[in-house]
Amino acid sequence: MGLKLKIIINPSSGRESARVNIEDMLAYLVSQKKLERADIYYTAGRFDAVNFAKNTDVTQYDYLIAVGGDGTVNEVLTGMQLGGIDIPLAIYTSGTVNDFASINQLPSIPSDFARMLMNPQFKRVDCGKAGDSYFLNVLAGGLMTEVAYTVPSDLKTAFGPAAYWMSAMKDIPTINKTIPLKIVADGEEYEENAIMFLISNSKSVGGFRKLMTKADLSDGLLDILVVKKMDISAIVPLLGKLVIGDHINNENVLYIQAKEIRLSTSTDELITLDVDGEEGPTLPTCVECIKDAINLIVPGEEES
């Protein structure tokens, strides 16, 4: 018997190559006589992927496949959590930035992805929850963190990752703008004037492969990184440390791990958070780690 797949795809993702990649992947499975059924659901707007995932009949499929960037994957995750859908999930990367897929070495070549489905390994991974929003990779606030959900889709498609940097440049003059942030992490209190802050379940965030150096996808903890107010002259040296993962003991950085994090601020300004590249809740909010939330499909050893 072949595989029975439910595929949720953002057709505009990855310079609109997602559709072609999926067709090639399915063709490979057919050539190997490993496909029985593939139902494809194309998203046309926000929350489509949430609804498609939430309404999955787990008795009809072996695997659920999310195809797109971090935003599409986030919606599939959200739908699975809201619907109590516990079916193995495969993630096919085709977006502009794919931190979670990169850190898990998930294949992006159609034939490689098909072989992963044919010879899978299953890995239970955690996710985060902030209010009613779920995230597989990162929740962020402060400087430049709204770039991911304010960059127009056509700009992302045309320029790829460069679109984020092009849009982020406008925020550099506001480097001295801070958020008076209060953090209560598993009962421990911290107060900082934050330029930006990140809460992640993955080592890789925003293309920085070693940003959350202690992160483990299955440890039941979230990693919190706060960049404190600093002189402009200290920014470039810190960026260098961020690239190589030598930053967590820097005086301008607060790095902690916790299962539950309460975030609040004393400012009257509305602080909107970014959740996996999409607009999320506002402060104050409570963030928690959902242990073993997803049964992720990762590459296994192929049959000889």
Per-residue pLDDT for 95 more than 60? Answer: no
Does pLDDT of 293 surpass 70?
yes
Specify the range with the lowest mean pLDDT, choosing from 87-101, 112-126, 261-275: 87-101
Residue 91's pLDDT band (boundaries 50, 70, 90)? very high
**85 against 131, higher pLDDT:** 85
- pTM value? 0.85
Mean pLDDT to the nearest integer, 58-75: 93
Query: 139 near 196, Cβ under 8 Å?
Result: no
Rounded Cα distance between 221 and 209, Å, is 19
Residue 165, pLDDT above cutoff 90 = no
> Residue 264 and residue 227: Cα distance in Å, rounded?
16
